[in-house]
Amino acid sequence: MRKNLVVVMDDIAAIRIAKDTTFAMLLEGQRRGYELFYLNEDRLYLDGASTRATMQPVQVRDDASDWFELGSVVDRALGSDDLVLMRSDPPVDADYLFATYLLEQAEQAGAMVVNRPRALRDFNEKLAIARFPDLMPETLVSSDAARIKQFVRKRGKAVLKPLDGMGGRGIFLADGDDRNLNVIVETLTDNGRHLAMAQQFLPEITDGDKRILVVQGRPVPFLLARIPVGDDFRGNLARGGRGEGRELGDSDRAIAEAVGPLLVENGIAFAGLDVIGDRLTEINVTSPTCVRELDAQFGINIISDLFDAIDS
């Protein structure tokens, strides 16, 4: 086992610990005796060929009113004593990509980085489903407004979303005769400057947008169905969706088992698959969530299984 757990994440003071998977990782790392270090991605830097981190020791406790305590700043190279968890949230912008290059250099110095930096670049969370054409819904990725509008009108209804978002941000549901369709497409593509995704609307969303967690290629036996509430079509918990834990169904397990080997092959130890009905809509590899909800409902410890798999 490595000595240090270095967690690259967003502001620890702003998290909601009841729902934060990265916090579950910190708790489990502390329980296992790692020395914990916390930093934001912009605190990584390269000095010659060495990736260094300006970070702080951190202690955590499962107390929603007082969940962390930071120590004095430490500045050092990352190396063979370090297990590094890259948990910064999207967007996967230029700064995020640069951080993965620095973490790849840390790998060369012996650090273990989860998920693997190259995979974080190669697996766009929206586009990666194209590797599994038999599992995905009808999908179009384009910056061409006419092509996107034709896709929507042909299907009568479609979900339109950016390629770099998370948590339901910037997602639209449009009908073929929607008077706002032009504006939606212009907004998402920035008037044809950027690619956007259009997906067939899946009415099974009323039964939940299912999050299936995959640890080292194997699905957790329970999923969290995120069910839309009120007049919102999105099931994302960040948009008010209701989370409901369930056992994996046969089609859910089949999807996870089809995707799992490719994840392992590419160094993705922890992923979240989004499934509506029997269609795979996203493969989340940057900062998959829903661990805390499933652990609480089913009395399990998903992150313990992850640590067993990656640093035994």
Which one is catalytic: 87, 116, 210, 211? Answer: 211
Q: What is the mean pLDDT of the chain?
A: 94
Which one is catalytic: 20, 28, 282, 295? Answer: 282
- Which one is the CATH code of 4-122: 3.40.50.620, 3.30.465.10, 3.40.50.970, 3.40.50.20? 3.40.50.20
What pLDDT is stored for residue 285 in this prediction?
Answer: 97
What pLDDT is stored for residue 244 in this prediction?
Answer: 93
Q: What is the mean pLDDT of residues 277-287?
A: 96
Q: What is the mean pLDDT of residues 253-275?
A: 97
Which one is catalytic: 226, 279, 292, 295? Answer: 226
What pLDDT is stored for residue 74 in this prediction?
Answer: 98
What pLDDT is stored for residue 237 in this prediction?
Answer: 59
What pLDDT is stored for residue 168 in this prediction?
Answer: 67
pLDDT tops 70 at residue 232: no
pLDDT tops 70 at residue 236: no
Residue 239: active-site member: no
Residue 226: active-site member: yes
Burial class (CB in 10 A: 0-12, 13-18, 19+), 44: buried
Which one is catalytic: 234, 236, 292, 293? Answer: 234
Residue 126: active-site member: yes
pLDDT tops 80 at residue 270: yes
Query: Could you read off the pLDDT of 191-221 as tens digits, one per residue?
Result: 999 999 999 999 999 999 999 999 999 999 9
Residue 155: active-site member: no
Between the CA of residue 23 and those of 1, 4, 122, 305, what are the distances in Å?
Answer: 20, 16, 26, 16
pLDDT tops 80 at residue 124: yes
Which one is catalytic: 2, 126, 149, 210? Answer: 126
What pLDDT is stored for residue 177 in this prediction?
Answer: 87
| Topology, domain 138-201 | Dna Ligase; domain 1 (3.30.1490)
What pLDDT is stored for residue 311 in this prediction?
Answer: 79
Residue 31: active-site member: no
What pLDDT is stored for residue 1 in this prediction?
Answer: 81
- CATH architecture type of domain 204-310: 2-Layer Sandwich (3.30)
What pLDDT is stored for residue 229 in this prediction?
Answer: 74
Residue 211: active-site member: yes
What pLDDT is stored for residue 178 in this prediction?
Answer: 87
Query: Could you read off the pLDDT of 147-177 as tens digits, one per residue?
Result: 999 999 999 999 999 998 776 678 999 998 8
Please report, for the chain, the start and end positions of each structural domain, with discontinuous segments joined by +.
Answer: 4-122, 138-201, 204-310
Q: What is the pTM of this model?
A: 0.93
Which one is catalytic: 87, 149, 161, 292? Answer: 161
Residue 282: active-site member: yes
Query: Could you read off the pLDDT of 66-122 as tens digits, one per residue?
Result: 999 999 999 999 999 999 999 999 889 999 999 999 999 999 999 999 999 999 999
What pLDDT is stored for residue 165 in this prediction?
Answer: 75
Which one is catalytic: 4, 115, 124, 284? Answer: 284
